[in-house]
Amino acid sequence: MAWLMIALLVVMSTANATQHASSGQDSIPVEPKTQIATPRSHVATRGISAQAANEAAAAQLESTSQDKQDAQARQVAQDAAQQASTTPANATSEPGMPSGMPASASSPDVAVAAPVTLGATRGVLFRIFPPMPTELPAELAVAESANVDGGSQANAASAAPAQIASTLSRPQPSYLLGTIHFGSPEEQGIDYAILEKALAGVETFVNEANLDEVWKPAYDDYRWLSPEQPLSSMIGKDSYAMARSLLPNVRAQDLVRMKPWSVLALLEARGETGGDTSMDGRLQRIASASGKRLVHLETLEQQLKALDCVPATEHALVLDERLRAPWILRDESAAAMRYYRTRNLGAWLADIDHMYGLSYAGKAIEQRSRHCLLEERNARWGGQLETLFQDGPSFVAVGAVHLVGPEGLLAVLRRDGYRIEEVPL
C-alpha cells in the first residue's frame, strides 16, 4: 500500500550512512542527540495543548464570573473553528508570512474510507497559526502576588490576567509540509523556490528522522531476515522471481534477506531509494546549509520498530498477494503520484484504505501495520509539534498521509485550537 512509502526514509538513511562511513567524509552537522530542543523559558505555557491547559486551570482555580464568560466565549470560538474545519473557508492575510507567500483557504480533513470528492482536503503545504498561549494556575498566582502590594487582593486577582496577557503575543505562524518519498520535482509539481522562501522565515526545520543518522549493527534485525528463513522460502518461487524482475537494481544477495515490509516499500516507490535527491533529503540539506536548527520527531530505531511491527511471517502474505498481481502495485504508485500532484490527500488516504487486491487476511495485516505507522506515530508527534509551534516558527516536513484523516496531524492541531491555511504550491 502507498503508505508504506515512508519506509524509504529508512532505506535512504541506511544508504547514506553506509556511504558516509565507507568514504570517511564528514556528514553535515546535525543534532542527533536531541530530538527536540528544550523550549525557551517563557511565562506562557509550552507544549501543553490549549484544551489541556484550560482543563488544568479549571481544576485548580475558582472561576470568577468573568472567567466563566471568557470560557464560554472560548468554547463558542472553538465550536466555530470545528465547524469551519469541515467546509472550505477563504483565507486571510496574516503577519509573519514570507513575502510573496499567498494566503489561501483552510483545508479540511477527510474521514478514513469515506466517499471523497475532488474538492475535499486539498493542499500539501499548510500555514499553521497557534492559539494564544494559556497560563497555568501557578503563573496566575505569581502575577496576583506581585499586584497585592498596595492594593486589595480582589483588585490584584482581576489585574493579574490582564497584566500577563499584555505581555503575550500570538506565536508566529509555522509551516507543515506533506512529502512524498519518490519521484522528481517535476512529477510532484513542487516549486522549491516557494519552499525555500518559507524555510528562510523560520527558526527550526523538523522532519521524521535524521537522514544522516549512522546505521548501527543493532538495527539489522529490523530489516534482515534470518539466514535460516530467506525471503524466497516465505513467498514462494514464482513471487520471488517476480520481485527479482521488478527490482533489478537490488542485489540478489540483499533481496533474499530483506523483510517483506522493506520489499513492499521499494515496490510501491517504483524501486527508487532517492537518497539526497529525494524530497526529504533535499529539504534537510537546504535547512542544514542555511543554519536552521534541526529537530527530528523520532529516532531511526523508533521508525524501524514501527515499520517492523508486524511479524515477517505474516507480512509475507501481503507481499505474496501483491506480487501475484503486480499491476496493482503499478496502479497504486501512479495513483499516489497523481493524488499528490493534484494535492488531493484526502482522496489518497481513502484510496489506500480500500486495500485493493488483498484478501480478508491480507487487509487485516495491513490494518495493523497502518496503525503502527500512522495513528501511533501521529499520537507521539502531536504534542512535540505543538511545543515547537508555540516556541517559535518552524517548518515541518513529514509524509503526506500523516496529515489527513480523523487522527491526522491537521485534525489534531485543529482540535487543539490551531488555525490552518493551505498555501498554494
Residue 27 lies in a domain: no
Residue 138 lies in a domain: no
Which residue is it, cell 507481499?
319
Q: Is a pLDDT exceeding 90 seen at residue 81?
A: no
Q: Diameter of the chain by CA atoms?
A: 87
**β partners of residue 391:** none
Q: Is a pLDDT exceeding 60 seen at residue 414?
A: yes
Residue 381 lies in a domain: yes
**β partners of residue 397:** 177, 207
Across 124-151, average pLDDT: 71
Domain span at residue 255?
Answer: 2-20+40-133+170-422
Angle among Cα 325, 326, 327 to the nearest 5 degrees reads: 95
Rounded to two decimals, the pTM is 0.70
Entry field: residues in the chain: 425
pLDDT value at residue 46: 40
Joined grid coordinates for residue 54: 484550560
Give pLDDT tens digits for 263-297.
Answer: 999 998 887 776 667 899 999 999 999 999 999 99
pLDDT value at residue 269: 86
- Please tell me the distance from the alpha carbon of residue 321 to that of residue 311, in angstroms, as a whole number: 16
Give pLDDT tens digits for 205-225.
Answer: 999 999 999 999 999 999 999
Across 155-175, average pLDDT: 64
Residue 332 lies in a domain: yes
Task: Identify which has the larger pLDDT, 41 or 147.
Answer: 147
Residue 98 lies in a domain: yes
Residue 233 lies in a domain: yes
Across 147-175, average pLDDT: 61
Three-state DSSP state, 348 = helix
Across 149-155, average pLDDT: 54
Confidence tier at 425 by pLDDT (50, 70, 90): confident
Q: Which amino acid is at 211?
A: L
Across 380-386, average pLDDT: 96
Residue 142 lies in a domain: no
Q: Is a pLDDT exceeding 70 seen at residue 27?
A: no
Task: Identify which has the larger pLDDT, 101 or 256.
Answer: 256
Residue 246 lies in a domain: yes
How many domains is the chain partitioned into structurally? 1
Q: Is a pLDDT exceeding 90 seen at residue 232?
A: yes
Confidence tier at 132 by pLDDT (50, 70, 90): confident
Q: Which of 34-38, 78-82, 387-391 has the lowest mean pLDDT?
A: 34-38
pLDDT value at residue 272: 77
Q: Is a pLDDT exceeding 80 seen at residue 417?
A: yes
